[in-house]
Amino acid sequence: MPKHPATSSAHLGFESIRQQDADGREFWSARDLAPLLDYQSWRNFVQVIEKARLACTQSGQPDVDHFVEAIKMVDIGSGAKRPIDDISLSRYACYLIVQNGDPSKPVIANGQTYFAIQTRRQELANDTAFGQLSEDEKRLAIRNELAQHNKYLAAAAADAGVESGQDFAIFQNHGYRGLYGGLDATGIKAKKGLKKSQKILDHMGSTELAANLFRATQTEEKLRRDGVKGKQQANQTHFAVGQKVRETIEDLGGTMPEDLPTPERSIKQIESAQGKLLKKDD
């Protein structure tokens, strides 16, 4: 399936300004990134960078590893150049910048999708150990990570006004509907042939779990970043993020999550089998 033209052109634009330092590490010039994100005023763009720095620190990452003060030489005519302040940005820094950018700019929406997906790809590519895991081991790893992030998501939703168990179930269903093309939890179970008592997340392959992990992490971040208040707005936010993840899967030519196969073994069965193996080894 072909990518959406607007998304594809944005991807090409971001990659075209990527640079490498003497050690082969990639970086972006903030001065180059600003006009690409439709910021003509450097002063206004610096304000976005400062928000991104704060988000970086709050995420537990040293901002000096991702935002490096630099000098850029620019032409002033007749072959002469002069230095101006610049900032060398990591991929993660660029991701944070677009996440904190002006949402009314169409290129910001494309940038959010691009950098979020590419950052996650980079993390997985660098994680050699993860790449060597079997499908069942990947499922267990992502399921455990998703369980932890669902706690963070629940806390962010509670701060937004999603308080009761029923409220949270409705909130979760909005995320599912966005990601699964209108299907809620009941519809997903019916589509995948699951019983009412079975947990959806325990019957997903690693690809489907990864899509849901991305949905959860991005929703939690957006709820907090945008200061979302009220159950209705929280629900709409979860739906919108789920829908954006679905659009990204479509742009990349992937299989829609509701059409991915259901594994033969559940997470509980895998955990049980691993427990028996450990006892046998003992």
- With a cut of 70, say whether residue 34 has pLDDT above it: yes
Measured between alpha carbons, how far is 33 from 30 in angstroms, rounded to an integer? Answer: 5
Q: Both tokens of residue 210?
A: 């990864």
- The confidence band for 279, taking pLDDT boundaries of 50, 70 and 90, is very low
In this structure, the strands spanning 80-89 and 67-77 are: antiparallel
Tell me the average pLDDT across 49-57.
91
The pLDDT assigned to 266 comes to: 93
Q: For the chain, what is the mean pLDDT?
A: 84
Measured between alpha carbons, how far is 15 from 159 in angstroms, rounded to an integer? Answer: 37
- The confidence band for 9, taking pLDDT boundaries of 50, 70 and 90, is very low
The pLDDT assigned to 2 comes to: 38
Q: In what order do the strands lie in the sheet with 19-20?
A: 19-20, 26-29, 80-89, 67-77
- Tell me which residue has tokens 């691009």: 114
Amino acid at 120: R
The pLDDT assigned to 119 comes to: 57
The pLDDT assigned to 131 comes to: 65
DSSP string, 128-165: HHHHTS-HHHHHHHHHHHHHHHHHHHHHHHHHHT--SH
- With a cut of 70, say whether residue 134 has pLDDT above it: yes
- Longest CA–CA span in the chain (Å) reads 78
Tell me the average pLDDT across 247-252.
86
Amino acid at 172: Q
Tell me the average pLDDT across 138-143.
88
- The confidence band for 7, taking pLDDT boundaries of 50, 70 and 90, is very low
The pLDDT assigned to 80 comes to: 83
% of the chain surpassing 90 pLDDT: 49
- The confidence band for 103, taking pLDDT boundaries of 50, 70 and 90, is confident
The pLDDT assigned to 24 comes to: 86
- The confidence band for 149, taking pLDDT boundaries of 50, 70 and 90, is confident
Amino acid at 139: R
- The confidence band for 5, taking pLDDT boundaries of 50, 70 and 90, is very low
> For the segment 58-71, what is each residue's pLDDT rounded down to a tens digit?
878 889 999 999 99
The pLDDT assigned to 6 comes to: 39
Measured between alpha carbons, how far is 107 from 166 in angstroms, rounded to an integer? Answer: 37
Closest of 104, 119, 110 to residue 28, by C-alpha: 119
Question: Cα 124 vs. chain centroid, distance in angstroms?
Answer: 13
The pLDDT assigned to 239 comes to: 97
Please tell me the least confidently modeled range out of 167-176, 249-258, 259-268.
249-258
> For the segment 151-181, what is each residue's pLDDT rounded down to a tens digit?
889 999 999 999 899 999 999 999 999 999 9
